[in-house]
Chain A
C-alpha cells in the first residue's frame, strides 16, 4: 500500500525559499521544520504540515458544527469540540428585537440543539465567538453526528468537493462536514455514509482513497 510521506516533529520539511508558512510548521535558520506528526503539503507558495491527529483550535472564518450547552442571559454557550467553548451572542443568532430581561432564550436555541455556524471572533487568549449571520448557517434537525480528527476534514471534502459529493450522491444523504471535526449526516441510508466518513479518517494518508470509497459505496 502506498502512503504519502510522513514527517515528525523536528524534521525538516523544506528550505523556506521565501514561501508562506502555513499550519504545522516552524522556522529555524531559513529551514522549515514540522511541528507535528503529519503529512507535508508543499507548493510554490506555501509550506505546511497536516497533522494526523490533534484537537480543534478555532480560527476565524471556520464553518463549524456546535452543540448548545448552556442558555445564558444574552446568548448561548456552544460546545465546538475544542478545549475552548464558544459564545453565540443573541444579536448574532436572532434577527428579532427582543427584551432579553423578559425572554427565556431557550425558545430560540435550547441545550442540545445542533447548529451549523461560523467562527466570527477569536481573541489572543482564544476566547471564541460564533455567529449564525452567514448564508449557510442554520439549526440542524435530527440526523447523527460523527466526530473525526479536524485535520482530516479537508480530505473528507476532497479537492473541489469531490469526495463529499461522491459520498452524498452514492448514499443519498445530507452530509455537512464542520471544520471542527464534527460531521452531520442525515438521510435514509446513514450507515454507509458513516462508514465512508470513518474510512476517510482512518486512511487519509493512503494513496488511492477516492477509488476505494467509490468502490465501497457502489
Chain B
C-alpha cells in the first residue's frame, strides 16, 4: 500500500481545465493530486528580425518555471539549472508533434508554471501544455501525453507524488504521442535491472493511454455547448 493509500497502478486524482488564461492563444491547467501545473501558449507569432535568417521552419520555445511558493522550502525566483534542463527536455518532448514547417520565421512560445509541486511536475506540465497547444489551434500530429513511473520499496508504481519521488529507488519521466506510439520524453534515474525498466515502460505507456482519453474528452466537451 502506498503512502496515500493508492494501489501501485493507480494514478492520483486528475483534474483538467482549458482556456484559463484569456490573454494566451491557448491555455490549460492540470492537477495530478496536489501537483498543479498551468500552461499557456502564445503564437505562432513573428520572430524578431535577427532570428529570421535560418528558420525555414517555425521555432518552438518552452519555459518551465516553478513558483517560489510551490515547494516546501521557498525556491528562489528565476531559472536554476534544473529548470533550464527541464525547459529543454520539455521542448523536445513537444517538438516532434508540431508541424513547424507550416510556420517559417515564426515562433510558438509555450510556458509552464508550476503552482504547486508534489512530484511529477514536468509530466503534469507537459499534459497541460499539450491541451493548451490543441486549444490554440496549433497543427499537431497527435496530443502529447506524459506520466511518471518508478520503483519504491521494491514495488513498481505509477504517478509518483513528492514523497515517493524523494524516496524512490528509481523514477522515470515518460511522454508519448499515444496514437503514433512515439516516445518523445524518456528520463530515468535510480538503479534498475533491464527487465524492471521494460516493465515500467509498459506501465507508463498504459497510464498515458488513460490520461490521453481524459485529455481528448475534455477538448471535445469544451465544444458540446454551454
Contact = CB atoms under 8 A, between A and B. Distances in A.
Direct contact of A and B (CB under 8 A): yes
Interface of A: 1, 3, 6, 8-11, 24, 26, 33, 35-38, 51-55, 57, 83-85, 124-126, 149, 151, 205-206
Given A57-B102, A84-B105, A125-B105, A26 B141 contact: yes
The dominant DSSP class at the A interface is loop
A85 B141 CA distance: 27
Given A8-B219, A124-B56, A125-B104, 6 more contacts: A10-B177, A37-B134, A38-B137, A55-B25, A126-B106, A206-B225
B192 interface: no
B225 A1 contact: yes
5 contacts: A6-B219, A8-B216, A26-B141, A53-B25, A84-B106
B224 A10 contact: no
Given A9-B142, A36-B139, A83 B177 contact: no
Nearest to A204: B223
B143 A8 contact: yes
Given A37-B134, A52-B137, A53-B136, A10 B142 contact: yes
A1 B225 CA distance: 6
Given A10-B180, A84-B106, A37 B219 contact: yes
B119 interface: no
B223 A6 contact: yes
Contacts of B134: 8-9, 36-37
B140 A35 contact: yes
Given A37-B219, A85-B46, A51 B225 contact: no
Interface string B139-154: 1111100000000000
A114 B223 CA distance: 34
Contacts of B103: 57, 83, 126
Interface string B31-45: 000000000000111
Interface in B88-117: 97, 99, 102-106
B97 to A, nearest CB: 8
Contacts of A85: 46
Contact of A36 (B106, B137, B177, B224): B137
Nearest to B18: A37
B17 to A, nearest CB: 15
Contacts of A3: 223-225
A149 B135 CA distance: 12
B225 A55 contact: no
A9 B142 CA distance: 5
A124 to B, nearest CB: 7
Among B43, B99, B138, B180, find the residue whose CB has the most chain A CB atoms closer than 10 A: B138
Contacts of B74: none
Contacts of A124: 56, 104
Interface string B56-73: 100000000000000000
Interface in B173-192: 177-180
Nearest to B212: A10
Most interface-central of A35, A83, A84, A151 (chain B CB within 10 A): A83
B66 to A, nearest CB: 28
Contact of B26 (A11, A24, A53): A53
B220 interface: yes
B46 A10 contact: no
Contacts of B142: 9-10
B10 to A, nearest CB: 26
Given A8-B219, A83-B103, A125-B104, A37 B137 contact: yes
A24 B138 CA distance: 10
Contacts of A54: 136-139
A40 to B, nearest CB: 13
A206 B225 CA distance: 7
Nearest to B134: A37
A57 B136 CA distance: 14
